[in-house]
Copies of this chain bind each other. A is one copy, B any other.
Amino acid sequence: MRVHNFGAGPCTLPLDVLEEAREEFLEFSDSGMSLLELSHRSPAYDEVHSATLELARRVAGAPADFEVLLMQGGATLQFAMLPMNLLGPGSSGGYVVSGAWGAKALASARKAGVAYSAWDGVGYGFTRMPAPEEIRLDDGTRYLHVTTNETIGGIRMVDFPESGTPLVADMSSEYLTRPIEWDRYDVVYGGVQKNLGPAGLALVFVRRSAIEDGPDLPDFLAYRWHAAANSLGNTPAMFQIYLMGKVLRRIEGRGGVPVLEAETEAKASMLYAAIDESDGFFTSPIDRAVRSLTNVVFRLPSPELEARFLLEAAHRNLVGLKGHRSVGGCRASLYAALELDSVSALVDHMRTFQRDAR
């Protein structure tokens, strides 16, 4: 019995993709072996690899002057690689700290170069985003780092600062469910384990001119090295790349980013409506204008009711709804492969629970 999986990542994947991968699991493409056993230098794998890179570029709409890189280490390794690759003597990275992930990105950057907080939402409990004029940039700022969607806090950036400084964005938890204004960015990155595939792979877009004359870093830490090797400098996370290829092909076939965006908005609207129409039984702490569309954070009147709500949800096969341990409450993640039916089932549970609790 397949559950409704609202997990914040890793998360639900398209069932047809899983079924296809299962079908091919023991023997890939008449190779006499599993994809897991293929050489990463074999023509059979190369086809998978190249197709995934091309699909990622096409679905994201990345211009030709961006490199598409497939790397291991998730967004967390990117937190280190970004300043290592982009900063030099006299330059620094500004960070919008809009939640836990922005804070982690800044903390790692400070250990790899000069980085500072250009705006910090901690004083607001991470319930609002900065107005563009609130963001303070130091002289010599090489890039402004934003977390376009904070997975834990459930908040998203809607208005991007027009400072002229290139943006660098962690989009992990809303990857390809919203369009990317490429001319504003030098780097767009994210772990794929929310919208695009299983854990163990980061998809990174880097503007070529941003890495032409960078510092001379150890191989794996240099964007240039990955770019020059077509993300095959060492053995890549082949299974994740293969599966993400299947997911991207499905996304493209269904209409790409515009369709994912519309579906995401529809799912989020349905859930926020249920919250807002509950007469204060369910509440969202987040400024309405910047509520996340992919991580819907909400509270019930008491921790006891929250615990019961989660327990009864599980009995109805609604899982992964517990808020992050650092903030508590509930969180429903509405990633690309989550069906609208799952949101309906959740809304149904919310209404029933509220009625019975009164």
The interface of chain A, by Cβ under 8 A from chain B, is 1-3, 5, 7-13, 15, 18-19, 21-22, 25-27, 31-34, 36-41, 71-77, 79-80, 104, 107-109, 111-112, 191, 193, 198-201, 216-221, 233-240, 243, 317, 319-320, 325
- For this complex, 21 residue pairs linking A to B, each with C-beta atoms less than 8 Å apart, are A2-B27, A2-B33, A5-B33, A5-B37, A7-B38, A8-B39, A11-B37, A18-B26, A22-B22, A37-B198, A71-B73, A79-B219, A80-B218, A109-B218, A111-B217, A112-B217, A199-B235, A200-B200, A200-B236, A239-B239, A239-B240
Chain B residue nearest in CB terms to A41 = B325
User: What residues on B are CB-neighbors of A80 within 8 Å?
Assistant: 217-221
Shortest Cβ distance from A287 into chain B, in angstroms? Answer: 27
Question: Given that A39-B10, A234-B75 are known contacts, is A112 also in contact with B32, CB under 8 Å in the complex?
Answer: no
Q: Which 4 A-B pairs give the minimum distances between C-beta atoms?
A: A3-B32, A80-B218, A72-B72, A200-B237
CA distance A32 to B198 in the complex (A): 16
Q: How far is the CB of A252 from chain B (nearest CB, A)?
A: 21
With A10-B38, A33-B5 given, is the CB distance from A74 to B234 under 8 Å?
Answer: yes
Knowing A8-B39, A9-B235, A76-B234, the reply to whether A3 touches B33 (Cβ < 8 A) is yes
Contacts of A3 in B (CB 8 A): 31-33
How distant is A251 from chain B, measured CB to nearest CB, in Å? 17
Q: Whole-angstrom distance between the alpha carbons of A75 and B193 in the complex?
A: 23
Neighbour of A37 across the interface among B10, B37, B75, B201, CB < 8 A: B10
Least Cβ distance of A91 to chain B in Å? 17
Q: A36-B13, A235-B193 are in contact. Are A111 and B218 (CB under 8 A)?
A: yes
Contact of A219 (CB < 8 Å), options: B27, B41, B107, B216: B107
Asked whether B34 lies within 8 Å of A13 as measured between CB atoms, the reply is yes
Given A107-B219, A235-B10, A237-B199, the answer on whether A36 and B18 have CB atoms closer than 8 Å is yes
Main secondary structure of the interface of A (DSSP, over half): loop
Q: Chain B residues near A79: list those with CB within 8 A.
A: 218-220
Question: Cβ of B220 and Cβ of A76 under 8 Å apart?
Answer: yes
Q: A10-B39, A193-B235, A200-B238 are in contact. List 20 more A-B contacts (CB 8 A).
A: A3-B32, A5-B37, A10-B37, A10-B235, A12-B33, A18-B34, A21-B25, A22-B26, A72-B237, A75-B234, A77-B221, A80-B218, A80-B221, A107-B219, A108-B218, A108-B220, A109-B218, A111-B216, A191-B234, A237-B237
Number of copies of this chain in the oligomer? 2
Q: Are A236 and B199 in contact (CB under 8 A)?
A: yes
Whole-angstrom distance between the Cβ of A77 and the nearest chain B Cβ: 4
Q: A199-B237, A239-B199 are in contact. Are A317 and B36 (CB under 8 A)?
A: no
Given known contacts A3-B33, A77-B72, is B219 in contact with A40 (CB within 8 Å)? no
Q: How far is the CB of A171 from chain B (nearest CB, A)?
A: 16
Question: What B residues does A22 contact at CB under 8 A?
Answer: 22, 25-26
Q: A72 — which chain B residues lie within 8 A by C-beta? A: 72-74, 77, 200, 237
Q: Chain B residue with minimal CB distance to A108?
A: B218
Nearest B residue (CB) for A11: B37
Most chain B CB within 10 A, of A12, A39, A109, is at A39
- CA A236 to CA B238, docked complex, whole Å: 15
Alpha-carbon distance between A74 and B237 when the two chains are bound, in angstroms:
9
Residues of B within 8 A of A26 (CB): 15, 18-19, 22
Cα of A99 to Cα of B25 in the assembled complex, Å: 35
